[in-house]
Copies of this chain bind each other. A is one copy, B any other.
Amino acid sequence: MTTSFPRFTFVLVWLLAAALTLTRGQTRPTEAVDLLVRGGTVVTMDAQRRVIPNGFVAVRGSQIVAVGDTADAGRYRAKTVIEAGGKAVLPGLINAHTHVPMTLFRGLADDLLLQEWLTKFIFPAEAKNVSRDMVRAGTRLACLELIRGGTTCFVDMYYFEGDIAEVTEAAGLRAILGQTIIDFPVPDALTPQMGIAQAERFIQKYRSGHPLITPAVAPHAPYTCAPETLAACRKLADQYGVPLVIHLAEADTETQTILERYGKRPVAHVEQVGVFGPRTIAAHVVQVQANEYAILKKHNVGVAHCPQSNMKLAAGVAPIPDLLAAGLAIGLGTDGAASNNDLDLFEEMDTAAKLHKVTHRDPTLVPALKALEMATIEGARAVHLADRIGSLEVGKLADFIVVDISTPRQLPNYNLYSTLVYATKSSDVETVVVHGKLLMRDRRMLTLDEASIRRETAAFRARILESLKK
């Protein structure tokens, strides 16, 4: 008996040691990451639309390296840990159409007929004020609003996109920036040829895999660009393999003009001219008919649906349920702040979900999940970046947001998608990460100086008002 005692003890100690080793192996962080978000409801928007109630996202550098249950997050040792208990973690929202510098024209003129609005206010204001400095100031103001509202990527069309790129990069946002080409003289180009040259220089600077900025060419619209201008834009896009961004089939007047000039409706005209090609992003697409859906689908055109802008400017209601049924990728855009008047994708989701229901008298259309898809993974498809962003999956870029889902006006919260689309506001966004970098944490801005943006905005406000007196 005496001999068996030490043997028994040995076995016991060995078992204990093994158990401890196993336990420590599970809890000791062994894998170093840069950022760990844990404890939140992770809304992956992956192919299975997985929602992980108590989930985590681990980030190394710019990439997501793990997504899962917080119980399995113990192996990650992170420099920065964000506790997201009671919050939702979502893919960053994608604004598929905007003109960021136009924030400086927000509310300058509203509730006017389109022609009056454009010719009496917007065009004169642009002619007298758009400069490199103005574009930079407007972009800074827009980036502040975009980040605070949970947008992590936007598609822009404006002038001086090189300056927009620098400010966007400094703010830390991701963007597809389309240098605008138009047939009349604009602040950064007297002719479309000069515009194309300008666009080419911009594309050359940013084309080789910039981490945040994707350069693009942006022929303004079929009614403001002659067929040869449009064709030159496509040629440039193909030469450098960059996206082409265009306003398409927005208002009735455009359809009439294009029909009169070319005997075709806008979509068919643009196809014939050869504008469609790889990575085309078309904004609005309101005045489009059933026989034109296949054209858009054939060329894999991404659609930037802008419900609030289309309502406010009275362009019409895009046939989104039909375009979805046709298999097109549809994202959501705010348009510029002069025609919306904000850059708030939570409102666009809510409006998109409601507008098509009433238009078709069918409350089952564009349910909450579909609206959220348009602002995330489907938006990523529409802007041809779905391989890199739009969902929370291993290998994708770390663009995500942490959103409060427990304010009184979101309760009781029976259905997360419904809460996010119908009851969540941009003010509920707390933390924003782009390319693995924190841009806002607990609503504190980390890359932009709000006070200086306010001063700059006030100075441009005075200058713009003065310019319109002359």
Q: Chain A residues in contact with chain B, CB under 8 A? A: 103-104, 106-108, 110-114, 117, 141, 144-145, 148-149, 252, 308, 310-317, 340-344, 347, 350-351, 353-355, 357-358, 360-364, 367-368, 406, 408-409, 411-415, 418-419, 422-423, 425-427, 450, 453-454, 457-458, 460-461, 464-465
- Distance in angstroms from A318 CB to nearest chain B CB is 11
The one of B108, B340, B355, B423 in contact with A342, judged by C-beta atoms closer than 8 angstroms, is: B423
With A and B bound together, what is the CA distance between A382 and B350 in angstroms?
A: 27
Check B453 against A107 for contact (C-beta < 8 Å).
Answer: no
Question: Do A425 and B422 contact each other (CB < 8 Å), given the known contacts A112-B363, A312-B363?
Answer: no
Known: A145-B409, A364-B111. A465 touches B317 (CB 8 A): no
For A313, give its contact among B111, B351, B363, B464 (CB under 8 Å). B363
User: Across chains A and B, which 4 residue pairs bring their CB atoms closest together, nearest first?
Assistant: A412-B461, A111-B367, A311-B354, A427-B427
> Once bound together, how far apart are the Cα atoms of A357 and B422, in whole Å?
22
- Complex Cα distance A108/B412, Å? 9
Cross-interface CB contact of A351 among B351, B367, B406, cutoff 8 Å: B351
Cβ of A361: which chain B residues have Cβ within 8 Å of it? 252, 314, 316
A264 to chain B, nearest CB (A): 23
Decide if B351 touches A317 in the complex (CB within 8 Å).
Answer: no
Give the most central of A314, A347, A353, A355: most B CB within 10 Å: A314
Among A317, A340, A351, A458, max chain B CB count under 10 A is at A351
Instruction: Indicate if the CB atoms of A141 and B411 lie closer than 8 Å.
Output: yes
Q: Determine the residue in chain B with the shortest Cβ distance to A107.
A: B418
A427 to B411, CA, bound (A): 16
Chain B nearest Cβ from A414, distance in angstroms: 5
Q: Contact: B108 with A357, CB < 8 Å?
A: no
Chain B residues positioned under 8 Å from A117 (CB to CB) = 363
With A106-B423, A110-B418, A423-B342 as contacts: A457 and B412 at CB distance below 8 Å? yes
Q: Which residue of B lies closest to A108 (CB)?
A: B414
Q: Which of B106, B342, B360, B425 contacts A412 (CB 8 A)?
A: B106
Question: A148 touching B408 by the CB < 8 A rule?
Answer: yes
